Structure 1
């Protein structure tokens, strides 16, 4: 590494700390890595060190870094028409919406484009309220739906706290988190019966005539890759039908092949009223998100004003990127690869759980997985308390992974493993060997 390159990297870091505010962190003492290159499932820092991108950045780089088809589509659109206001119809906006609706559940009718997932959830809240004439919004405690004001109130975990006191009408309920359930259920069906009965009782106490929507991440993402038990989503759907409540599935992380299906709801054969999406629709090449609405909701707005609007709704570059990205999923058979590699990843994770006493639980569906770290398997005491890590234990574990070239992130005591859908078996095995090595250290840490 030449001195010039090293100096360049130090200048980038210095300027970043001087002029950028960095997310979710106290600003003093930060030392962000300077990244200079990314390709496929890898990225490189200013020192030339290569990292496996084992979280797909923020679970959005599903097609990997540097896909030429998407890059060219963006370049061509920039030259043709870099921007057009949302009130106009133009080719890439129409085509992107059509292609999205075509791979969505059969009941979906139209798309309202946003810039990202938080805005998608913000607008889904408004659409549900406009459509039903009701105002209360249910969401789960272990959830993250975005950091804008409405999305933060929708969020259940601690990242909502800076937005409180919150907006009236937001109500939280508990997830079917079976690993930490208060009851030892005999099977998933029994757990589903319990959690659906609890939710039904809460609906009755809050007033069904006041509840516009129930929001839920189809598969809970950052808060631990919590996969719904058998029958749970159908139970929520039935409650929504019974009480005329909109079922809104947040697929910002779980959508776009991450679980091996276009949308995670396909695993459980349900049709929500609204689906919010972002991330994998363009894989971050250009920001884009949106709200898919059912045909019934779309028809409602034929005669009723849609009080939603954004300067960059349906941005041409984002729509061009979405068209190309959807084509890449199909041409490179990435949903199929997500399923295949997901089976292999699941086997690796189960082996890690057997081998390492620090692993309390592993959860996985497609290439969407989490490793839950504990101090003791019997008591299930987490390696760090919920919402707090005073000794920076998880930071140390992430640091060890990073030093070996494995890049990911954690939420509380859970390590996220969600590589790009392009990953090969050899790459997956090599990366998870690093995880195995680091978990040896964690085993010794808790001894």
Structure 2
């Protein structure tokens, strides 16, 4: 077992956490929850790849929270940059130039593919998606947006309607110009495919049929997570993203790559599209751009779309667009990623530690239906039956079985990321090898629990 940090949580800190919990239950309205039965975990402290819960217990964080603390918690260079910026300019309206925003834009533009050299800053991923779609609609003069089922693009009105997973149901009135299509998903193919080549061919045929039947002259944009995150970290099969890009060229559709979760090193590349050598027209980002230390997102814009608004006013903006504290955190984060070789390290962790260990999980645990991923971005599909692929929890919900599995992971000293029937392995890019190995040892304890529910 790895040596734990020596940080101790005092009785006074635990008592303060209990007070914070009571205030939370009295006054805080939580997202994505029925408010009454919800019992949130209190976090008293964070450091590197650890968090301490309300009882003072240390947990290894392999969730990266909402897959956003890409460089771990409390990175000293980022904390220092926020302090320094606060001493100089804590906030300023977005119509004014500030050096933190200018430098953040430069660093991002240097790393985006192709000619995505213009950066519009937002407060997070959902409003980045909203603005990218607005730009695409105004650029093309066409309203419809194509989006995949089994996707997530944010919780604001249009972003949640563009979303393909069940979180959109309560808000989806089919009035926002969104058309969903079936994605390429080899493990649970919607096309009866038995090989990746078949999946690519059939998924692209389905997408082109959708474009033709909906009318290409009505479709302004297609948005696609380069690697879907919360929806399952299912990597596109070879040739799929290139084929999607070719269809958007053929039919005059703006291609929006959603890199909110997959971007900034999580996949072992600066952006996940780089794995498949695809350059979109617009690219949305957030989360890892500054490890979530201060809310920040944005849209990277191609030269052609930028030209649409060179002399024409862009009808959109945000009070906190390019907030100096957030941008200073982004500058420090990107610089730390570069200086500390984190992108290459994420790739190495996936190839040398996570991937091989998850393959062993597959070999040793009948509840594991599939493992897949890249970099520090992996998913474990839990099933009751490998032959039928019956999931341990139904699509769109949880189950008593999954609740028991997640509880076992927490009891083993992990802060896990779970969605439907999956456990995601999404640690920080700079997690020490020995801590990651210990985390995977602990995760295996939860898989022994999952094995109890296997029926064949």
Give TM-score, length-normalised by structure 1: 0.97
Q: 1:256 aligns with which of 249, 254, 264?
A: 264
359, 381, 384: which one pairs with 2:393? 384
Aligned to 1:70: 78
Structure 2 unaligned residues grouped into runs of 5+:
1-8
* 1:168-187 → structure 2 map (5 Å cutoff): 168-187=176-195
For structure 1, the residue ranges without an aligned partner over 5 or more in a row are none
Q: Which residue of 1 aligns with 2:440?
A: 432
Q: Cα–Cα, structure 1 residues 416 and 305, in superposed 2: closer, same or farther, change >3 Å?
A: same
Paired residues of 1:55 and 1:407 also in contact (CA < 8 A): yes
**Residue number in structure 2 paired with 1:411:** 419
Shift of residue 294, structure 1, vs aligned partner: 0.6
What secondary structure does 1:303 align onto? coil
Instruction: Summarize the alignment of residues 356-395 of structure 1 with structure 2, pairs less than 5 Å apart.
Output: 356-389=365-398, 391-395=399-403
Distance in 1 between residues matched to 2:13 and 2:295, nearest whole Å: 30
Deviation per CA, 1:372-396, whole angstroms, max 9, x where unpaired? Answer: 000000111111111133x432222
Deviation digits for residues 248-269 of structure 1 (CA, Å, limit 9, x no counterpart): 0100000000001110000000
Find out whether 1:27 has 2:35 as its counterpart: yes
Q: Specify the alignment match of 2:347 in structure 1.
A: 339
Could you tell me how far 1:3 is from its partner in structure 2?
Answer: 5.1
Partner of 1:12: 20
Give 3-state SS (helix, strand or coil) of 2:46's partner: strand
Change (3 A) 1:358 1:209: same
Question: What is the aligned counterpart of 2:359 among 344, 350, 354?
Answer: 350
Indicate the SS of the match to 2:309: helix
Counterpart CA distance in 1 for 2:174 and 2:199 is: 31
Alignment length (residue pairs): 446
8 Å CA contact 2:110, 2:117 repeated in 1: no
Match of 1:275 in 2: 283
The residue number in structure 2 matching 1:98 is 106
Following superposition, the deviation at residue 5 of structure 1 comes to 4.0
What displacement does 1:183 show? 4.5
Counterpart contact for 2:64–2:427, Cα < 8 Å: yes
CA separation of 1:3 and 1:287: change in aligned 2, threshold 3 A: closer
Q: 2:227 aligns with which of 216, 219, 223?
A: 219
Distance 1:91 1:3 in 2: 43
Task: Measure the CA separation in 1 of the matches of 2:86 and 2:10.
Answer: 35
Structure 1: distance between partners of 2:385 and 2:453: 12
Mapped to 2, the partners of 1:173 and 1:65 lie a distance apart of: 37
Length-normalised TM-score, structure 2: 0.95
